[in-house]
Structure 1
Amino acid sequence: MQIFKSRYGAFFAFLSYFTIASFIVRTILLIASLKTTSFGLLSILKIYFTGLFFDLGTGLIILTFYAVYLLLMPNRFYQKKWSKLLTIGIFFLLVMITLFSFFAELTFWQEFESRFNFIAVDYLIYTYEVINNINESYPLPLLISGMLILAVAITYLFKRLGVFEQSINSKTPFRQRIIISGSFIAIAVLFLLFVKNSWADNSPNRYDNELSKDGIYSFFAAFRNNELNYHNFYRLIDEKEAYQLVRKQLIDSNTTFDKNDFSIKRTIKGNNSNYKPNIMMITVESLSADFLAHYGNTQKLTPVLDSLADKSIFFSNMYATGTRTVRGMEALTLAIPPTPGSSIVRRDNNEHLFTTGHVFKQAGYTDTFFYGGDGYFDNMNHYFGNNGYNIVDRGRKLLNESFDGTRTLITDGEVKFENAWGICDEDIFNVAIKDADQKFKEHKLFNNFIMTTSNHRPFTYPAGKIAIPEGSREGAVRYTDFAIGEFLKNIKSKPWFENTIVIIVADHCASSAGKNEIDISKYQIPCLVLNMKNIAPMNIKKMSSQLDLFPTLWSLMGWSYTSNFYGKNVLDASYQPRVVLGTYQKLVYMKSDSLVILSPQRKVETYIYNKTKNEQIQAKFPKSLIDEGIAQYQTAYDLFKNGDLKY
């Protein structure tokens, strides 16, 4: 064919190979699926035609950089021997990579009956475990050798057909190359930007949808979307029953639900809406409960926090929902269980959600997110900025993205110490104090979300502040505690302090690794509420979640408000201790000492949790308790996906 005799011969050769190989993989997966489901003629046609569309688009994306090379390389250089070797080398490398991808798809389907999704992305985080698992499951040396031989054979076949020789010897004019390369690059870019993997999800038969996709494109779509489809991978219960179970848990004498059966939106009636204090919430990076003496630590790392615990509203048995900062942000602003995949903070379509900040904004407050690093990281600025918060961060430049709120950059003059992760905690606290001074002058109430960074690797901080040398976690914890103490000293003389509540809460623990796959002890965090009017210090020993912080606070403040949150006032007589937490895949519901763990493949495990020994003992629970756990996550996933968390 003429196209194989042009400069683009190797380009079209790879695209042909990739399309044929994808067809073969799709056929193998379809045959494997026949034991589970059946396919009609229209289903098969849909699978192959939609699949061809995704395969061609993916192939062009893979070849984009090679298309640029073919466009820019002058004929006098392109026809050199080294160029021929480079072309063959690129072809071989791409074949090798895609062959490994195809093999991985076959094994992934064997396990999950799905194209690549966020589980596959999650595996990248646990590279050591995955490589060892593959090594133990398959003869890795033979596998690699087989892939190499097959890649060599495919490359040799196209060499024998004269593809590389004809490609190198051709003299395709530059104008023609602009049209060809430009067209393919444009198609690849448009495909990448606008074609959603969900376009294949148009059949009630999940196998139709999965087989229509391309595995490689599915992988990067999952990486971009950061989520797993709960309905495809986790156990389900009747939708109406799920909402009834969640409502039953959230109901109390002050609550009135909307008439919509498929919603948790409700009105909560308080007794004193006149109390409107400023809120300064310090969300401390990686502050595990076991750093504090109150939880048994003997290293004296947190003398400030330990001295404050008995003078505050102290949630001494609170649990984080996850192991990442964005999970803590999600829990503290959305009060929603951690749905599978990554935090909603990092997902698409996360704008204009019903956040805790929205409740404050409705009451006349100005919401501001303070971060000592660049809030572009982990999509934080996009999330907060498009959910009504002003942003104050250390980003080096203003982005063109528009936000609901404003963005202010922390200047060099405001920074005394910073590392690669961000400015030190003292500096971010001083920036927040300066902002509070200005808000007070303007007679504005403020709700501040302050995210610290010092208790994060590389664990460096200003010299001469504490006795522990920098570079260790213990030193970083001690410095953060010191900085909080200085912050409290500085604000006590401020005219706005008397009407300001200070919250100190962790985003997550310092480590999630433990003897159990999900180590419950690695999710326990401290939470202190300071300077609240007319409320005596108390130790709230009931097991609670990050989700419960603001519902409890608003109840103590006497507020009436609309709620779309899964959190509840833990001081209410009807409150039943429970927490929700998880990893990217595992979803946990713990009620008292009963532990329900939901996993992909609709797997459910049940344990009794012995907190004293930090042990999980297998046990059988009634279906009603398991359904409670399923209801939390099933409804949370649906509310976000259906847009019902938006205001």
Structure 2
Amino acid sequence: MNKPKNTLTLFLQRFLLLIIIYQLIRIGFYFYNQSFFQEINLKIFLGGLIFDLAILGYINIIFVILHLVPGKFQENKKYQNFLFYSFFIINGIILSTNFIDYEYFRFIGRRSSFSIITAEGMSNEIGGLLISYIKDYWQIPIMMIISLFTFWLCLKKIKYQTVKTFSKIGNYVTLLFVVGLLFIAGRGIGRKPISLVDATNYGPIGSSALVLNTPFSIMKTLSKKENLKEIKYFSEAEAKSIFNPIQTFSYPEFNKKNVVLIILESFGNENIQRGQTPFLDSLIQKSYYFKNAFANGKLSIDAVPSTISSIPGLMNKSIISSNYALNEVNGLPKILKENGYETSFFHGAFNGSQNFDKYANVAGFDTYYGKDEYIGPKSFDGKWGVFDEDFMQFFAKEINNFKQPFFTTLFTVSSHAPFTIPEKYKNKFPKGTTEIHESIAYTDFALKEFFKTAEKMPWYENTIFVITSDHTSSTGEELQYKNNVGKFRIPILFYVPNDESMIAVDEKNFQQIDILPSLMDYLQLNTKIISYGKSYKSKDDYVVNYLDNVYNLEMGDFYLAFDGTKTLGLYNWKTDPLLKENLSDKNPENKQKMERFIKAYIQSFNHRVSKNQLTVK
């Protein structure tokens, strides 16, 4: 006959099993993404244990109560079966979310948030993309099933059919004590509750995703709102003297050229000038090319406000899907419309995808063209939208109907996972070395065909083409593209037919938010704007982006990582692209200068975004 087990021992054995399973999942996450974590140490896994205890503490408070509340019902087999199955099902579902980030981490560079898990702004695409995800990354569902099966088998081995409880008083004291411990584990023992940013304390820069777990990240981003905190590093006057986003442009004559902005999906630096993009490579030779260009975010949804409105993504949530989405912005559409331009936005995906249509409306575009407005050959990729070649031809023909001058934006789709290309082009493009390369080559071909059509159009010679990527891709063998500098390296170029002054290679640091002020200078507009970027004519040489609760600042040859309170590291990213040597102690003057700049920048951004002050009144 089995010896009765007290209910506290039963709960503790189950809870310990969960801790072990979470650690095994973290180890699996590390080996699956090993190339992204060049340095690991015991501190990372100790930090991981703290974050595992945090999420497990909150989830299992209810189970402590169900295990330890005294009463004869505890000895009832049906009740114990209920406890067993509910413990397995609820904890099993929650721990399974960790497997989403085994692959998705490669795309976004951090653990998933609530809005990503719920596919906010992608309701039409999610069904097809989920099927593709399971098909293309079949090993991840298998690993998840193995983990759940292991959890089930080990849970079954913890005998629970015969239990006993303490006396009523003893059980209530034990219950209060254990609930208190789990609450402390969930909250953390610091002055403030444990948060996502605390993960930066447990490992090298870029290792926060290994420290964290996905359920904790989801829990901390459950609210659709992300309120920016007012930060006062400096007095208002001192902050403005360090960084002031108000910029004035004054010219005697207007250079009334059309503007075509093309945002190429996932065309990070790791994918160009390596044989996959012959047309874009040739265009670079005839353009004003920014050799050291950066994205201001890791998601497509970040690229639109960055390129259109010069607003960087300095939150864990994109401004498009945040509670600041309806802030008044004075981006390219409104500025150019005031100067007589017709404006439009084209995106071949489902209408409403990633809330681009809503932001296009807020930004001031006259017209939005999505999959619903497409006219042309049947060309749906089955998952995401209209194939790039056909949509770009539609784009070129629609432009022909616009009154000059016009400003139009195109966002491509075909080089987005699952990287589908038309059947007729299968095996016609180089496969490359990673799964995205064939679709990159296809979109490069589509771009070439677009320019073949465009150069025959009457508006072509009077147009500046701005070409950029939304962000880097998830793949790439080179280690330099897997740290907090390389994860943002993208191509940006200005191509202006018959303007030889716009053929050059610029080595200054450049970013997506620099596109707007640069166009103000090139078009010679008279305007005053708020921009967190700078013109290509400026002597300033900085780039700012944000990832996994770390502010990244490139200034000249140096890169500073800042977590909002302290510097995490200073590196010469040009001579040390793998960021091996931390120069914080060796170069204190540069560290102080860059730290002052990023603090003033954050202070201005948080204040203006939270107070809806992104326009000059």
TM bucket (normalised to shorter chain) is 0.5 to 0.7
* Alignment partners' CA distance in 2, 1:101 and 1:473: 48
Match of 1:267 in 2: 248
Q: 1:471 to 1:460 in 2, by over 3 A?
A: farther
* Alignment partners' CA distance in 1, 2:574 and 2:283: 29
Given residue 253 of structure 2, which amino acid in structure 1 is its aligned partner?
N
Contact 1:374 1:393 in 2 (8 A): no
Map 1:352-367 onto structure 2 (within 5 A): 352-367=328-343
Contact 1:118 1:228 in 2 (8 A): no
Equivalent position to 2:272, from 269, 275, 292: 292
Deviation per CA, 1:246-293, whole angstroms, max 9, x where unpaired? 44xxxxxxxxxxxxxxx63342112421x2222111100111123222
Give the % identical residues: 21
Match of 2:360 in 1: 384
| Secondary structure at 1:596 match in 2 | strand
Task: Indicate whether 1:460 and 2:425 are aligned.
Answer: no
Contact 1:512 1:523 in 2 (8 A): no
Task: Indicate whether 1:437 and 2:400 are aligned.
Answer: yes
Bigger Cα displacement from structure 2, 326-335 vs 595-604: 595-604
Map 1:198-347 onto structure 2 (within 5 A): 222-225=221-224, 227=226, 229-231=228-230, 236-241=232-237, 243-247=239-243, 264-273=245-254, 275-293=255-273, 299-347=274-322
Given residue 280 of structure 2, which amino acid in structure 1 is its aligned partner?
L
* Alignment partners' CA distance in 1, 2:89 and 2:292: 57
Contact 1:336 1:547 in 2 (8 A): yes
* Alignment partners' CA distance in 1, 2:179 and 2:603: 31
Which has the higher relative contact order, 1 or 2, with Cα contacts under 8 A spaced 6 or more apart? 2
| Secondary structure at 1:501 match in 2 | strand
Q: 1:610 to 1:105 in 2, by over 3 A?
A: farther
Given residue 606 of structure 2, which amino acid in structure 1 is its aligned partner?
Y
Match of 1:369 in 2: 345
Match of 2:466 in 1: 503
* Alignment partners' CA distance in 2, 1:383 and 1:114: 35
Deviation per CA, 1:386-423, whole angstroms, max 9, x where unpaired? 2212453446xxxxxxxxxxxxx234755424231221
* Alignment partners' CA distance in 2, 1:586 and 1:489: 43
Given residue 420 of structure 2, which amino acid in structure 1 is its aligned partner?
T
| Secondary structure at 2:401 match in 1 | helix
Q: 1:305 to 1:615 in 2, by over 3 A?
A: same
- State the Cα distance separating 1:228 from its structure 2 match: 6.2
Task: Indicate whether 1:615 and 2:556 are aligned.
Answer: no
- State the Cα distance separating 1:108 from its structure 2 match: 5.5
| Secondary structure at 1:300 match in 2 | coil
* Alignment partners' CA distance in 2, 1:103 and 1:450: 54
Q: 1:530 to 1:609 in 2, by over 3 A?
A: closer
- State the Cα distance separating 1:602 from its structure 2 match: 5.0
* Alignment partners' CA distance in 1, 2:548 and 2:351: 22
Equivalent position to 1:416, from 379, 391, 396: 379
Map 1:154-169 onto structure 2 (within 5 A): none
Bigger Cα displacement from structure 2, 501-510 vs 563-572: 563-572
- State the Cα distance separating 1:349 from its structure 2 match: 3.0
| Secondary structure at 2:251 match in 1 | coil
Contact 1:368 1:389 in 2 (8 A): yes
| Secondary structure at 1:270 match in 2 | coil
Q: Any unmatched runs of 5+ in structure 2? A: 1-58, 60-77, 95-176, 201-206, 585-589
| Secondary structure at 1:579 match in 2 | strand
Match of 2:492 in 1: 527
| Secondary structure at 2:571 match in 1 | strand
* Alignment partners' CA distance in 1, 2:180 and 2:552: 33
Q: 1:369 to 1:264 in 2, by over 3 A?
A: same
Match of 2:29 in 1: none
Q: 1:112 to 1:270 in 2, by over 3 A?
A: farther
* Alignment partners' CA distance in 1, 2:232 and 2:580: 24
Given residue 463 of structure 1, which amino acid in structure 2 is its aligned partner?
E
Equivalent position to 1:473, from 412, 424, 436: 436
Q: Number of matched residues?
A: 440
- State the Cα distance separating 1:479 from its structure 2 match: 0.6
Match of 2:62 in 1: none
Deviation per CA, 1:114-171, whole angstroms, max 9, x where unpaired? 457676999xxxxxx8897589xxxxxxxxxxxxxxxxxxxxxxxxxxxxxxxxxxxx
Deviation per CA, 1:582-625, whole angstroms, max 9, x where unpaired? 21411111111222212156564333324464324212345333
Equivalent position to 2:557, from 585, 589, 593: 593
- State the Cα distance separating 1:491 from its structure 2 match: 1.0
* Alignment partners' CA distance in 2, 1:105 and 1:379: 37
Given residue 431 of structure 1, which amino acid in structure 2 is its aligned partner?
F
- State the Cα distance separating 1:548 from its structure 2 match: 1.6
Q: 1:541 to 1:517 in 2, by over 3 A?
A: closer
Q: 1:376 to 1:101 in 2, by over 3 A?
A: farther
Q: Any unmatched runs of 5+ in structure 1? A: 1-61, 63-80, 123-128, 136-215, 248-262, 294-298, 396-408
Given residue 496 of structure 2, which amino acid in structure 1 is its aligned partner?
N
Bigger Cα displacement from structure 2, 417-426 vs 634-643: 417-426
| Secondary structure at 1:342 match in 2 | coil
Map 1:21-32 onto structure 2 (within 5 A): none
Match of 2:508 in 1: 542
* Alignment partners' CA distance in 2, 1:448 and 1:101: 58
Match of 1:144 in 2: none
Equivalent position to 1:555, from 517, 521, 530: 521
* Alignment partners' CA distance in 2, 1:593 and 1:585: 23
* Alignment partners' CA distance in 1, 2:291 and 2:180: 50
* Alignment partners' CA distance in 2, 1:568 and 1:134: 35
Given residue 630 of structure 1, which amino acid in structure 2 is its aligned partner?
K
* Alignment partners' CA distance in 1, 2:591 and 2:567: 16
Map 1:58-77 onto structure 2 (within 5 A): none
Contact 1:227 1:342 in 2 (8 A): yes
Please report the RMSD computed on the Cα atoms of aligned residues, expressed in angstroms. 4.1
* Alignment partners' CA distance in 2, 1:413 and 1:532: 28
* Alignment partners' CA distance in 2, 1:237 and 1:431: 50
Contact 1:332 1:549 in 2 (8 A): yes
Given residue 597 of structure 1, which amino acid in structure 2 is its aligned partner?
A
Given residue 385 of structure 2, which amino acid in structure 1 is its aligned partner?
G
| Secondary structure at 2:345 match in 1 | strand
Contact 2:199 2:211 in 1 (8 A): no
Match of 1:427 in 2: 390
- State the Cα distance separating 1:344 from its structure 2 match: 1.1
* Alignment partners' CA distance in 1, 2:330 and 2:179: 40
- State the Cα distance separating 1:508 from its structure 2 match: 1.0
Q: 1:555 to 1:229 in 2, by over 3 A?
A: closer
* Alignment partners' CA distance in 2, 1:444 and 1:332: 22
Task: Indicate whether 1:451 and 2:404 are aligned.
Answer: no
Given residue 110 of structure 1, which amino acid in structure 2 is its aligned partner?
G
Instruction: With the length of structure 1 as denominator, give the TM-score of the two structures.
Output: 0.59
Equivalent position to 2:569, from 593, 599, 605: 605
Q: 1:229 to 1:605 in 2, by over 3 A?
A: farther
Given residue 287 of structure 1, which amino acid in structure 2 is its aligned partner?
F
Deviation per CA, 1:54-101, whole angstroms, max 9, x where unpaired? xxxxxxxx9xxxxxxxxxxxxxxxxxx99x979x9699969x98x999
* Alignment partners' CA distance in 2, 1:562 and 1:132: 44
- State the Cα distance separating 1:105 from its structure 2 match: 6.3
* Alignment partners' CA distance in 1, 2:261 and 2:233: 37
Q: 1:447 to 1:372 in 2, by over 3 A?
A: same
- State the Cα distance separating 1:581 from its structure 2 match: 1.7
- State the Cα distance separating 1:504 from its structure 2 match: 1.3
- State the Cα distance separating 1:323 from its structure 2 match: 1.3
Given residue 277 of structure 1, which amino acid in structure 2 is its aligned partner?
K
Match of 1:635 in 2: 604
Match of 1:258 in 2: none
